[in-house]
Chain A
Amino acid sequence: MRETTDAEPIPASGAAMNAVALLEAPIAASGVEVSRPVAATIEAFLASVERRAWRIAEIALRDPDEALDAVQDAMLRLVRHYSGKPAEEWPPLFWGVLRRRITDLQRRRAVRNRIMVWTGRATNDDDEELPEWEAPDLGPDPSRALASRQAHAAMSAAIRALPRRQQQAFLLRVLEGLDVADTAKAMGCSAGSVKTHLSRAMDALRTKLEDWR
């Protein structure tokens, strides 16, 4: 698998990113955050973030279609309510909206499962590891793609096993690369809480890193 540096931004999807002007954002001083360009328009911002948002929602929800719905809802809400805000504020707002949407869906699913347990039609979604559907790989190295998918599945399973707040802190702070302040804004808590949740998440994930290789 190809190794990447921490500061290297994940490329945006689609041609929309090429069509708009991008301003260079200040690089985070700590070196932990991933520096990403600030989009000039909200559509460019959504184009830059859509795939990561979907992957993060998929990790949290374990359902690609539900993740897609969550991302679409977050996009609509961002455009409806926050499109007038400065572009620098879009990332924490968007991730905050998406986080709440994911939490809503997780709670709804939990309630549904409880009802199913009462009615005797429960499906053990939390324990059962179902194979995930993936599109057929047409690349030159199928074994590498398979290893990549397996590593992603193992990492997703490890993240899903975390408590919800630790999971959110890890996804936003490490995978999305938000700084502590933006993560705190998106999570609706203090910066100290973010650090605490993240530290505990790291401790929990430390023993599982071997599975990701």
Chain B
Amino acid sequence: MNTRPENTIEGLPGDAEIESRSRAIFRNACENTDSYHALRLGMARRKAAHVGKARVTSRVWAPMAGAAACCALVIGVVWMNPARQMGPATTAVPSTPVAAGNDTPEETTPEIGSTQMEMVQDLDFYRWLAAQPAVASARNRGSR
């Protein structure tokens, strides 16, 4: 600082005197702060410190909450993936009538199901036929 010695020409005080004088007055004023404002200052300080502590707590918990959310997301994605793979097999049957367009149920389902139904109905016959190999082969030989 540009300190100036006592101003002897005009009899005015120098920088050092101004500083010491103003500091003494200021110090006295600080020491004699009234209780009301001292209390409010203390409350303001405690509030600021509380905000700081809350911030520290959030700094600890925020990454943990974020990590938990990421884990939940990953688990959800993994959980949903098998369902998607199973999806086409289960949804193929319902998609058939949609793909068939204007076809009526009588025209579509019997075509697939009719042979199967005939097979089921003729199953007894085929079983009986399978049980009679000797008779059938003997008739064939006799006709020759």
Q: Which residues of A contact B (CB under 8 A)?
A: 1-6, 8, 10-11, 13-14, 16, 30, 32, 34, 42-43, 46-47, 50-52, 54-55, 64, 68, 71-72, 75-76, 78-80, 83, 134-135, 145, 148-149, 151-152, 155, 170, 173-175, 177, 180, 195, 198-199, 202, 205-207, 209, 212-213
Q: Which residues of B contact A (CB under 8 A)?
A: 1-4, 7, 12-13, 15, 17-38, 40-42, 44-49, 51-52, 55
Nearest 9 pairs between A and B by C-beta?
A: A135-B34, A72-B44, A75-B48, A79-B52, A43-B49, A50-B41, A152-B29, A51-B30, A46-B45
Please indicate the chain B residues that have their CB under 8 angstroms from the CB of A54 in the complex. Answer: 33, 37, 41
The answer on a CB contact under 8 Å between B18 and A206 is yes
The answer on a CB contact under 8 Å between B17 and A13 is no
Please indicate the chain B residues that have their CB under 8 angstroms from the CB of A149 in the complex. Answer: 29
**Interface residue from A76, A78, A134 paired with B47 (Cβ < 8 Å):** A76
The answer on a CB contact under 8 Å between B13 and A46 is no
Please indicate the chain A residues that have their CB under 8 angstroms from the CB of B34 in the complex. Answer: 134-135
The answer on a CB contact under 8 Å between B51 and A202 is no
The answer on a CB contact under 8 Å between A13 and B42 is yes
Q: Nearest B residue to A213 by beta-carbon distance?
A: B21
The answer on a CB contact under 8 Å between B1 and A198 is yes
Per the bound structure, the CA–CA distance linking A43 and B7 in Å amounts to 43
The answer on a CB contact under 8 Å between A64 and B37 is yes
The answer on a CB contact under 8 Å between B12 and A80 is no
Q: Nearest B residue to A133 by beta-carbon distance?
A: B34
Please indicate the chain A residues that have their CB under 8 angstroms from the CB of B26 in the complex. Answer: 10, 52, 55, 152, 155, 175
Per the bound structure, the CA–CA distance linking A75 and B48 in Å amounts to 6
The answer on a CB contact under 8 Å between A80 and B52 is yes
**Interface residue from B4, B15, B25, B30 paired with A212 (Cβ < 8 Å):** B25
**Interface residue from B1, B3, B29, B41 paired with A148 (Cβ < 8 Å):** B29
The answer on a CB contact under 8 Å between B51 and A145 is no
Smallest Cβ distance from A168 to chain B, in angstroms?
15
Given contacts A79-B51, A80-B51, A212-B22, contact A4 B44 (CB under 8 A): no
Q: List 16 A-B contacts (CB under 8 A).
A: A1-B28, A6-B20, A8-B27, A42-B49, A43-B46, A43-B48, A46-B49, A50-B41, A51-B38, A52-B30, A71-B41, A79-B52, A135-B35, A175-B22, A206-B13, A209-B13
Per the bound structure, the CA–CA distance linking A68 and B20 in Å amounts to 26
**Interface residue from B1, B36, B41, B52 paired with A13 (Cβ < 8 Å):** B41
Per the bound structure, the CA–CA distance linking A80 and B24 in Å amounts to 33
Known A-B contacts: A83-B55, A175-B23, A198-B1. Give 18 more (CB < 8 A): A6-B23, A11-B31, A42-B49, A43-B45, A47-B45, A51-B41, A52-B26, A64-B37, A68-B37, A75-B45, A80-B55, A152-B26, A155-B22, A174-B19, A205-B22, A209-B13, A212-B22, A212-B25
